């Protein structure tokens, strides 16, 4: 009888370990994301993992506080202009593009399903609203002046590090506070961008994560801790939430057509995301530009001191290190006298006093770089200035 020889089977233990390893990774990953989804109102890390990079849909993800509009009549129209730019605006993911000239809405286009009543999120355009509120509080005497040390309002900072007493409100407004700010382009949920954007308790983050890196007033550095600290100063100086102060002192006096909202860090904390998160209709955003165009007056009513408007938007290095940036407003140094608010993904309020014009752009994405948008706004304003000179 012929003997049957069984074939030799070579065992490969690495396959077993690989299978187990992949399975373990999948289980851990699914468990991590399951925890993250259930912790979005309690954990900064959870938000960074699930929501990842900021986008215009964030206004619906964060809780928010209502800022009631006055329901006043719309900005007057008439004297329209033809920019012949619809193709460019569509190609750059623009959702709204408005031009106001001589207090009249002369160009108004919406794309991607947006319309006049659609609230657009501001991202860092919110900072320009924050500095305006600080200016109003100074005018009312609720804040002494921009030379006040931040520790006059937030003494906890001085108890943690006495050097905080050297930081004036002016340093916060001009991004020259000397506070450390670390960010990376890598998908890393522990940099300062993640904490200041996704933080579930931004007051605690501003008071306890801030570290002094250099003396104030020496170097300009874009830093989202600065508006958070100023938001807390506003809260304590006015005795009300920032949204409430804005409603009473800015939004209602401007006759905003529609309600705005301001996203909060969390339902539990209830602090406005001062570095971003203000959501307004584009027409109402234009009203802030018009307020500055008219040196702080609206329909004959003084809302903001003219001196504040000048200081907030002037190309001046006498008191801070950057001519291109003042009180949370960018200065168009190539067009003296012009300035703009600028937010992530291409949100803009561009003010050209020489052309008596305001341009607002909102979008899902920038589409092109900042310099291209500035060139577009300059071109629009230059055309209006030239037409006004010929009239």
pLDDT value for 301 = 95
* Predicted model pTM: 0.91
pLDDT tens-digit readout, 117-160: 999 999 999 999 999 999 999 999 999 999 999 999 999 999 99
- Contacts of residue 40, defined as CB under 8 A and 6 or more positions apart, other chains included, come to 46, 47, 50, 51, 61
Question: Which value, to the nearest 10 degrees, does the dihedral of the CA atoms of residues 366, 271, 48, 30 take?
Answer: -130
β-strand 347-352 against 104-110: which pairing, if any?
unpaired
Residue 361 near residue 97 (C-beta atoms within 8 A)? yes
DSSP 8-state code for residue 4: P
Tokens of 338: 């012009």
What CATH number has the domain bearing residue 167? 3.40.710.10
| Structure confidence at residue 224 (pLDDT) | 98
- Which alpha helices (H) appear in the chain, and where do they start and end? 13-37, 44-51, 58-61, 86-91, 125-139, 155-160, 169-173, 192-198, 202-208, 225-238, 242-246, 282-293, 306-313, 370-390
Residue 10 DSSP symbol? P
Q: Find where tokens 């304003």 sit.
A: 381
5 in any annotated domain: no
Q: How far apart are CA 271 and CA 132, in angstroms?
A: 18
Whether 388 and 80 have beta carbons less than 8 Å apart is answered as no
Q: Is the pLDDT assigned to residue 24 strictly greater than 80?
A: no
H or E element at residue 161? none
Structure tokens belonging to residue 241 = 């939430």
- Yes or no: say if 272 and 241 are a contact pair by the CB < 8 Å rule: yes
Residue 65, beta-bridge partner list = 262
Q: Closest Cα partner for 179 from 142, 236, 230?
A: 230
- pLDDT above 70 covers what percent of the chain? 90
Q: Tokens 């006043």 appear where?
A: 72
Nearest CA-CA partner of 272 in 290, 303, 245: 245
Tell whether 113 is covered by a domain.
Answer: yes
Domain count across the chain: 1
Q: Helix 282-293 crosses helix 306-313 at what angle (to 10 degrees)?
A: 100
Q: Has residue 44 been placed in a domain? A: no
Is 3 a member of any domain?
Answer: no
Which of the two residues, 380 and 49, has the higher pLDDT score?
A: 380
pLDDT of residue 188: 72
Separation of alpha carbons 259 and 119, rounded Å: 9
Q: Is the pLDDT of residue 347 over 60?
A: yes
pLDDT for the residue 81: 87
240-252, pLDDT tens digit by residue? 999 999 999 999 9
209 assigned to some structural domain: yes
Q: Could you tell me the residue range of the domain that residue 174 belongs to?
A: 54-390
What 3-state class would DSSP assign to 169?
helix
Please tell me which of 42-56, 63-77, 115-129 the model is most confident about, judged by mean pLDDT. 115-129
Q: How big is the chain by its Cα radius of gyration, in Å? A: 25
**Average confidence (pLDDT) over 170-195:** 91
3-state helix, strand, coil in the chain (%, to 5): 40, 15, 45
Say whether pLDDT at 279 is over 90: yes
The answer to whether the beta carbons of residues 122 and 343 sit under 8 Å apart is yes
Predicted confidence (pLDDT) per residue in 318-334, tens digit? 989 999 999 999 999 99
Q: How many residues does the chain have?
A: 391
Question: Do the beta carbons of residue 235 and residue 272 sit within 8 Å?
Answer: no
Residue 281 in any domain: the answer is yes
Distance CA 384, CA 390 (A): 10
d(CA 25, CA 361): 44
Mean pLDDT of 180-195: 87
Is 40 within a domain? no
- In a domain, residue 188? The reply is yes
């Amino acid at each position: 009888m012929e003997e049957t020889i069984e074939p030799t089977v070579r065992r490969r233990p690495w396959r077993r370990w690989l299978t187990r390893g992949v399975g373990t990774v999948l289980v851990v990953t699914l468990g991590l994301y399951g925890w993250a989804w259930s912790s979005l109102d309690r954990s900064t890390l959870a938000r960074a993992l699930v929501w990842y990079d900021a986008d215009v849909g964030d206004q619906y993800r964060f809780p928010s506080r209502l800022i009631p509009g006055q329901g006043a009549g719309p900005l007057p129209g008439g004297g329209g202009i033809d920019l012949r730019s619809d193709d460019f605006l569509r190609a750059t993911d623009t959702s709204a593009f408005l031009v106001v000239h001589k207090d009249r809405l002369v160009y108004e286009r919406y794309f991607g399903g947006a319309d006049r009543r659609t609230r657009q999120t501001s991202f860092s355009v919110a900072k320009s609203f924050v500095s305006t509120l600080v200016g109003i509080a100074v005018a009312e005497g609720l804040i002494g002046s921009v030379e006040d040390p931040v520790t006059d309002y937030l003494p906890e900072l001085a108890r943690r590090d006495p050097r905080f007493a050297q930081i004036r409100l002016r340093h916060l407004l001009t991004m020259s506070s000397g506070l450390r700010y670390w960010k990376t382009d890598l998908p890393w949920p522990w940099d300062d961008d993640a904490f200041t954007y996704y933080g579930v308790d931004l007051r605690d983050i501003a008071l306890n994560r801030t570290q002094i890196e250099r003396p104030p007033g020496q170097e300009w550095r874009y830093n989202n801790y600065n508006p958070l600290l100023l938001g807390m100063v506003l809260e304590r100086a006015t005795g009300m939430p920032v949204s409430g102060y804005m409603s009473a002192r800015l939004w209602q006096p401007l006759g905003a057509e529609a309600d705005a909202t301001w996203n909060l860090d969390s339902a539990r904390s209830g602090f406005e995301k001062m570095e971003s998160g203000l959501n307004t209709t584009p027409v109402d955003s234009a009203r802030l530009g018009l307020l500055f165009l008219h040196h702080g007056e609206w329909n004959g009513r003084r809302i903001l001191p003219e001196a504040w408007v000048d200081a907030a938007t002037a190309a001046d290095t006498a008191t801070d290190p950057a001519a291109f940036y003042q009180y949370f407003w960018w200065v168009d140094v190539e067009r003296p006298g012009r300035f703009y608010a600028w937010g992530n993904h291409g949100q803009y309020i561009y003010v050209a006093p020489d052309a008596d014009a305001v341009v607002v752009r909102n979008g899902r994405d920038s589409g092109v770089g900042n310099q291209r948008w500035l060139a577009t706004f300059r071109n629009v304003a230059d055309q209006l200035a030239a037409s006004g000179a010929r009239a």
